[in-house]
Amino acid sequence: MTTHGAETPTEAHVEAFAADGVVHVPGAVDPSLIDEVLALADRQLAEPGPWVTDTADDPAPGRLFTSRYLWRDDPVVNRFAFQSGVAGLAARCMGSSSTRLYFDHLLVKEPGTESTTPWHQDIPYWPFLGQSICSVWVACSSSTVEESSLEFVRGSHRWEKYFAPESFDGTPGWTDDFDGEQIPDIEADRSGYDIVGFDVEPGDAIVFSSWIIHGSPGNAGAGRRVALSTRWLGDDAVWHPHPGCDPTVTQAETTAVPGQYPADDDRFPVGWSTVS
């Protein structure tokens, strides 16, 4: 197994990540592992894991399917998280001495999917606070911005805003427990924002801050769009369970202490560290 990602980011990538909150790193993950993720997507669609969102039964055309927290049980996801190099890529982009895995997130959009990923920040959905928390979103299929790739409001990680999380499909859910400022309607005023997007090929990574505003369209492409995103906790991350955050890891499941660095090797294992 190669560990591309640990060496991949150049100075320019690291600088772009700091300034923009997002950077595109082509060819970050070995193609053999990408093929394994595509097979995993087939398996998950047929037999979903415990934490799934799925629009298959919605009236809207297509299917937006996501499955998260697979690393503990699925050997492909485990290898992807800990041996592909993405943990080191995250650490280097953030300038952190180590990274711990928060969770993995498989994202599938079938061709013709009209359900979008609405504009949002990740951090308010998660039980953590800190500047050094990011995602490494790895494309497992080609996609263009027009079809289905990700877009970002460049620099919005520095806005010092913490917008209320919202249920992506508008249905009631755990996000309803959060009461806070609503995210502006970016889509209705696209020219008012500095929006940047990336066309991607299989194995490309997009590394982005958990504070940056991002979203994506449905899938207007001809093929299935698959990505595997891993979420990484850097040096200043602290455990911050709060109303309206993702219930997949609660206080009952972790030894992490509110307001402190989450040194829980069982729930949030180290993916990369400068200390051997």
Element (H, E) at 136: strand 133-139
The answer to whether residue 107 forms part of the interface with ligand AKG (CB under 6 A) is: yes
> What distance in Å separates the CA atoms of residue 199 and residue 55, rounded to the nearest whole number?
25
Among 134, 227, 233, 249, binds ligand AKG (CB under 6 A): 227
Among 67, 113, 117, 209, binds ligand AKG (CB under 6 A): 117
Q: Which is nearer to ligand AKG, 248 or 273 (CB)?
A: 248
Number of residues that bind ligand AKG (CB under 6 A): 11
Cβ-Cβ contacts under 8 Å for 207 (sequence gap 6 or more): 9, 13, 17, 22, 23, 25, 89, 90, 93, 134, 135, 136, 137
CB of 115 to ligand AKG, least distance (A): 10
Q: Is 164 exposed, middle or buried (0-12, 13-18, 19+ CB in 10 A)?
A: middle
The answer to whether residue 137 forms part of the interface with ligand AKG (CB under 6 A) is: yes
Among 44, 135, 156, 230, binds ligand AKG (CB under 6 A): 135
CB of 69 within 8 A of CB of 50? yes
CB of 252 to ligand AKG, least distance (A): 25
The answer to whether residue 122 forms part of the interface with ligand AKG (CB under 6 A) is: yes
Mask: binding to ligand AKG, 140-179, rule CB under 6 A, as x and -? Answer: ----------x-----------------------------
Torsion of CA 49, 52, 54, 57, to 10 degrees: 70
Which pair of structure tokens corresponds to residue 89? 């890529």
> What distance in Å separates the CA atoms of residue 61 and residue 143, rounded to the nearest whole number?
19
Q: Which is nearer to ligand AKG, 146 or 265 (CB)?
A: 146
CB of 239 to ligand AKG, least distance (A): 20
CB of 227 to ligand AKG, least distance (A): 5
Residue 120, strand partner residues = 214
> What distance in Å separates the CA atoms of residue 124 and residue 110, rounded to the nearest whole number?
27
CB of 14 to ligand AKG, least distance (A): 20
Q: Is 83 exposed, middle or buried (0-12, 13-18, 19+ CB in 10 A)?
A: middle
Residue with CB nearest ligand AKG?
A: 216
Residues 175-214 close enough to bind ligand AKG by CB under 6 A = 214
Contact positions vs ligand AKG (CB under 6 A): 105, 107, 117, 122, 135, 137, 150, 214, 216, 227, 229
